[in-house]
């Protein structure tokens, strides 16, 4: 008989004070009629740019929109864009929607992210951009080397930082290595606004273009000609209000998630059959996901089923269970061998981590894992 769910796979965190703040800002927006591209959007943009040490931030309707806006500005139409095959659908789909050609690349087995070597293996004479995905919230340790390669070759680097709010590498924040970065505020993210995303950049011209693209390609919000083939990629003031209160709590959330990860690091050392990704002291992850690899031959679906039904532990979703080159929508895209991504996609699990995770909950997860894997 299945037990009640004791630790869910995800849990958005909004205190009573946070809910009151959101309600106040939403009431203000409804009363004034300023419901999109208003003062709360500006407030969120400015605060997010400051937190991530960027000169500019442009709020949009989703992380997917942030990716496509950035890729359109980078001019990838008709050219190749390198994308790791173990990423979310939107990373590759944004390339296609922007008119580019996806070039799938393999990843490093210790980080699940692109490495200098896997990028080099995927380069073509017509590579326009590389999309570097910070999987699970850990900034790719290879970011500086990949950035240097891109600069040397005249290739744009776009960071897909959908998982990486507040994460760092050697003290540098996620989003500071490429020409631009895209963040997501989907409900499961460390910082959520319900729906929404952000483009950050240090280039004034990039900022200007992003603002045009997000509002139907118009030269200005209050009027003007349509000068780009944009779309309805605006963030509403209601979503911005939620994002503002979440950003205020980001550092608190990171501290809690890192404590949970430390507990998992210590506890997994005594559990056979599962190994966390190797620690890299340079990486300050936000632990959007806590990643570990099951030993070959262990049935992941069975492990997750038993954890839920026998112990009430809901495992977080994989990143990702199936590589993109195996997805039906991407069939026909040419690619070389991708053995590492295929292996890690099949074997990894993500232990639940919440922004209000308790020590008792991490103990429950570890105890359940030990029972199931023994």
pLDDT tens digit sequence for 305-328: 999 999 999 999 999 999 999 999
Q: Tens of pLDDT along 327-345?
A: 999 999 989 999 999 999 9
- State which H helix or E strand residue 67 sits in: helix 63-74
Is the pLDDT score of 180 beyond 70?
A: yes
pLDDT surpassing 80 at residue 228? yes
Stretch 248-261: mean pLDDT, rounded?
98
Closest CA to 90 of 73, 45, 98: 98
Say what the pLDDT of residue 367 is.
Answer: 98
| Mean pLDDT value across the chain | 97
- Using one digit for the tens of pLDDT, what is the confidence trace for 26-58? 999 999 999 999 999 999 999 999 999 999 999
| Closest to 181 (Cα-Cα) out of 324, 36, 12, 53 | 53
- In this prediction, residue 1 carries a pLDDT of 63
Rounded distance between C-alpha atoms, residue 102 and residue 95, angstroms: 6
The rounded distance, in Å, linking the Cα atoms of 190 and 183 is 11
**Confidence category of residue 364, pLDDT binned at 50, 70, 90:** very high
- Name the more confident of 3 and 365: 365
pLDDT at residue 223 above 80? Answer: no
Residues 269, 272, 274, 279: what is their CA dihedral angle, to the nearest 10 degrees?
20
Q: Tens of pLDDT along 138-173? A: 999 999 999 999 999 999 999 999 999 999 999 999
Given a cut of 80, whether residue 221 has pLDDT beyond it is no
Q: pTM here?
A: 0.97
What is the structure's pLDDT at 224?
81
- Mean pLDDT within 270-288: 96
């Amino acid at each position: 008989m299945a037990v009640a769910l004791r630790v869910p796979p995800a849990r958005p965190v909004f205190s009573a004070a946070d809910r009151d703040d959101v309600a106040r800002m939403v009431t203000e927006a409804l009363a004034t009629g300023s419901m999109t591209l208003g003062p709360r959007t500006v407030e969120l943009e400015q605060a997010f740019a400051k937190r991530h040490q960027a000169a500019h931030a442009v709020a949009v309707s989703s992380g997917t929109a942030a990716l496509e806006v950035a890729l359109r500005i980078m001019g990838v139409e008709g050219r190749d864009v390198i994308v790791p095959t173990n990423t979310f659908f939107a990373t590759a789909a944004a390339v296609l929607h922007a008119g580019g050609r996806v070039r799938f690349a393999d990843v490093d087995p210790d980080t699940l992210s692109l490495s200098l070597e896997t990028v080099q293996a995927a380069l073509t004479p017509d590579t326009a951009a590389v999309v570097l995905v910070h999987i699970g919230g850990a900034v790719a340790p290879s970011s500086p080397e990949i950035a240097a390669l891109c600069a040397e070759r005249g290739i744009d680097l776009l960071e897909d930082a959908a998982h990486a709010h507040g994460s760092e590498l050697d003290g540098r924040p996620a989003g500071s290595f490429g020409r631009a970065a895209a963040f997501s505020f989907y409900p499961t993210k460390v910082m959520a606004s319900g729906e929404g995303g952000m483009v950050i950049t240090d280039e004034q011209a990039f900022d200007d273009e992003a603002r045009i693209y997000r509002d139907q390609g118009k030269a200005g919000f209050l009027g003007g000609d349509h000068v780009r083939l944009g779309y309805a990629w605006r963030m509403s003031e209601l979503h911005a209000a939620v994002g503002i209160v979440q950003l205020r709590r980001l550092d608190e959330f990171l501290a809690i998630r890192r404590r949970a990860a430390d507990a998992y690091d210590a506890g997994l050392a005594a559990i056979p059959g599962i190994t966390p990704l190797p620690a890299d002291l340079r990486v300050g992850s936000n632990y959007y996901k806590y990643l570990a690899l099951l030993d070959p031959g262990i049935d992941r679906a069975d492990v997750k089923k038993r954890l839920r039904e026998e112990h009430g532990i809901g495992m977080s979703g994989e990143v990702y269970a199936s590589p993109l080159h195996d997805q039906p929508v991407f069939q026909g895209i040419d690619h070389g061998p991708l053995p590492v991504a295929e292996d890690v996609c099949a074997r990894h699990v993500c232990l639940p981590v919440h922004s209000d995770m308790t020590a008792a909950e991490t103990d429950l997860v570890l105890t359940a894992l030990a029972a199931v894997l023994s």
